[in-house]
Amino acid sequence: MSDFFTFSDPNVRLVTAGTILLGISAAIVGTFTFLRKRALVGDAIAHAILPGVCLSFMITGEKHPAYLLVGAVLAGWLSLLVMDYLSSRTKLSTDTAIGAVLSVFFGAGILLLTSIQHSGSANQAGLDQFLFGKAAAMTQRDIWVFSGVAVVLLGLVLAFFRSFKLISFDPAFAKSIGLPVRRLEFLLSTITVLAVATGIQAVGVVLMAALLITPAAAARFWTDRIQVMILLAAAFGLLSGLFGSWISYTAPSMPTGPWIVVLLSMIAVVSVVVAPKRGIWARLRLQRSNARKIRQENILKAFYGIGEAADAPVATVAVDMLRQQRPFEDIALQLGLRELVKKGLLHKHKPGSYALTPTGLQESRRVVRLHRLWELYLTERMNYAADHVHNTAEAIEHVITPEVEAALLRELDHPILDPHDAVIPYQNPSKPSAS
């Protein structure tokens, strides 16, 4: 491991520098590809580049990376035009257009490639690096070309950052403020084709889509800001490039490209699961805490209802009475009661019977108040029939914030009775609002 990370071996330096450069530039460009929901277009471009590469070799008879790049970019561009044409001018759907262009262009590339190989041209060996990538066999010349491309890409992204951001999020708005949307899209597409045409040499045709979009998709889970997203995506690209080269350095039989992609996918999966707010785990926790809140508030309401009917707010209530008041699920009821005792809103007198504590009474009054206020609001201000408002109020009472409550009270002028003539309970029952 230390051998690798000192970067004393010039070959290690080359390979690592190359994969990192390609990883970072693909990730940065890919962020826009991802935001414009064109991930699979990137995949199609990667496949469609092949015939361009072969033709440029057939014409020049050379394998200079710069020549091949020109052929690749032209073919990538043509494929974009054809995809746009098919999906906008024929009745084929976008994904059919992408799939058709991808496979036909690639087929043409394979046909040309095999034809070149069969022709016995001495110079052709190595053209298939475009199929599988050749991270481990990069030369000084490749690195110069890649660095040049990376600098151009970064420069363009920096220079046009604001415009690219606008056309990614809201092309209609961009147009309305007078941006040359079509020209900018052309530029952005060209940058994408360029990033694909270079990146493909690290990971190959099939895996190129991953280099482009997986870092961006992973970054999306951590942030809502595009600047942060680009930086994160670039960092993911860098890390996977670094460790991908390290793995194939320590185990020479291991291919670099696929490992880069596997590492990227792992980063994405971790992000999907643990990222705060957008991650699956965070969302599950939020759902569970909402479910708990609703469960507890419904039990408190049942207590209040029983107390109101008996005119004894803090009387001891048996669990069976709660069930009669409201059809609870058994497990939910037991769980909710235990949670409420723990929070000090209920106390348990003997097994199976409970009473509200003073804070519990306050809390139950709050929930019932919100329910009745909302019912009143619906009948008075929204012209609902009184017998149609209960279910809506059941749902919304759990999410009304104190600010909304204050607004409702102002709007309805501190009412006393709800549409069903039940008393709306206020925090301090001894002095209801002036009537």
Q: Catalog residues that contact another protein under the rule CB under 8 A.
A: 34, 37-40, 42-43, 47, 86, 89-93, 95-96, 98-100, 102-115, 118-119, 128, 131-132, 205-207, 209-210, 213-214, 216-217, 220-221, 253-255, 257-259, 261-262, 265, 268, 272, 278, 280
Question: How is residue 204 written in tokens?
Answer: 């190959």
Distance, in Å, from the CA atom of 340 to the CA atom of 360, rounded to the nearest integer, reads: 8
Separation between Cα atoms, residue 262 and residue 260, nearest integer Å: 6
Structure tokens at 10: 């010039």
Joined together, the tokens standing for residue 222 give 């951590």
Nearer to another protein, 152 or 254 (CB): 254
Q: Which is nearer to another protein, 101 or 302 (CB)?
A: 101
Find where tokens 């058994």 sit: 330
Nearer to another protein, 77 or 377 (CB): 77
Is residue 39 within 8 A of residue 213, CB to CB? The reply is yes
Measured CA to CA, the distance from residue 275 to residue 366 in angstroms comes to 34
Burial state string for 201-218 with b = 16 or more CB within 10 A and e = fewer than 16:
bbbbbbbbbbbbbbbbbb
> Which residue, 107 or 126, has its beta carbon nearer to another protein?
107
d(CA 387, CA 378): 11
Q: How far apart are CA 212 and CA 25, in angstroms?
A: 9
d(CA 175, CA 173): 5
Q: What is the rounded distance in angstroms from the CA atom of residue 19 to the CA atom of residue 24?
A: 8
Which of 22, 17, 18 minimizes the C-alpha distance to 264? Answer: 22
SS3 417: strand
Residue placing its CB nearer to another protein in the complex, 223 or 265: 265
C-alpha to C-alpha distance for 374 and 368, rounded to whole angstroms: 10
> How far apart (Å, rounded) are the C-alpha atoms in residues 379 and 382?
6
What is the spatial distance between Cα 63 and Cα 123, in angstroms, rounded to a whole number? 8
Hey, CA dihedral for 325, 331, 337, 340, is it positive or negative? Answer: negative
Residue 429: C-alpha distances to residues 153, 299, 359, 424 (Å): 69, 21, 14, 10
C-alpha span between 27 and 235 (Å, rounded): 9
User: Nearer to another protein by C-beta: 272 or 315?
Assistant: 272
Report, in Å, the least distance between residue 68 CB and another protein: 19
